[in-house]
Amino acid sequence: MPPNLSVVGVEAALMARVYDKLSSVYDVAFGPVMQAGRRRAIEVMGEAEGLRILEVGVGTGLNLSLYRSGSDVTGIDFSSQMLDRAEERAAREGLRPRLFQMDAEALRFPDASFDVVYAPYLISVVPDPVRVLREMWRVCRPGGTLLVLNHFRSEHPVVSRVEQWLSPLTVHIGFKADVDRHALFAQAGIEPDWAEKVNWPRIWTLVHCQRHASPE
30 confidence band (pLDDT: 50, 70, 90)? confident
The pTM for the full model equals: 0.92
Query: 143-163: per-residue pLDDT in tens?
Result: 999 999 999 999 999 999 989
Give me the residues paired with residue 164 across strands: none
Q: Which of 136, 100, 143 is nearest to 118 (CA)?
A: 136
Domain boundaries, the chain: 12-210
Q: Identify the CATH assignment for 12-210 out of 3.40.50.150, 3.30.230.10, 3.30.160.250, 3.90.1150.10.
A: 3.40.50.150
Q: Which of 125, 64, 131 is nearest to 99 (CA)?
A: 64
What 3-state DSSP class applies to 152?
coil
pLDDT (mean) for 50-59: 97
122 neighbors 150 (Cβ within 8 angstroms): yes
Task: Give the phi and the psi of residue 120 in degrees, each rounded to 5.
Answer: -90, 120
137 confidence band (pLDDT: 50, 70, 90)? very high
Distance CA 60, CA 65 (A): 12
Query: 70-93: per-residue pLDDT in tens?
Result: 999 999 999 999 999 999 999 999
The pLDDT of residue 206:
98
